[in-house]
Amino acid sequence: MKCKLLIFALLCTFVFPGHAVDMDLENIDGSKQNLSDFEGKWVVVNFWATWCPPCIAEMPDLQQFHDNHVNKDAMVIGINVENLGNSELNTFLDMYFITYPIFRGPQMTESELGTIPGLPTTFLVSPQGTVEARQVGSVTAEMIENFIVKWEARQLVLQ
């Protein structure tokens, strides 16, 4: 587990130096939002699909992280990258007890946040709206929390 955290920290530190981003988002109901609507909180942006076993496996951790932070300092948003009907997608989300916001996105290899080489791919956007990390493959709540703590400690040192 420590090795996984170290790899995540190294990827996050060196792959993404942090650039301001915004992204148009489409809710399941078709209404529009922007990633910048969530500025002021850490935003975990998770690209996923219902046919992806690692995506499903990480959902409980993403839900736990969201539940623990949404009323304070962070949140999770999921971007489903498949063409499912609302009923089918909502049934899936209910079956897995997913309550964090879910948006629709096309299958893609690039987004405003960066490259999406496979699923799941998760980006971590700072409260200032900068991409600070990307993880290809599953993440855990602990990995996300550890990264944020280390990032914030590094920011204090730099000030």
Cβ 81 vs Cβ 107: under 8 Å: yes
Per-residue pLDDT tens digits for 65-110: 999 999 999 999 999 999 999 999 999 999 999 999 999 988 878 8
How many angstroms separate the CA atoms of 96 and 74, rounded?
21
SS3 29: coil
What total of structural domains would you count in the chain? 1
Provide mean pLDDT across the span 106-133: 91
Q: What is the pLDDT of residue 18?
A: 56
- Helix axes of 141-158 and 2-15: crossing angle, nearest 10 degrees: 50
Q: Give this prediction's pTM.
A: 0.87
Helix (H, G, I), strand (E, B) or coil at 136: strand
Question: What pLDDT, on a 0 to 100 scale, did the predictor assign at position 7?
Answer: 45
- Domain range for 79 is 2-158
What is the CATH classification number for the domain harbouring 116? 3.40.30.10
Per-residue pLDDT at 56: 98
Q: Which of 85, 106, 103 is nearest to 27 (CA)?
A: 103
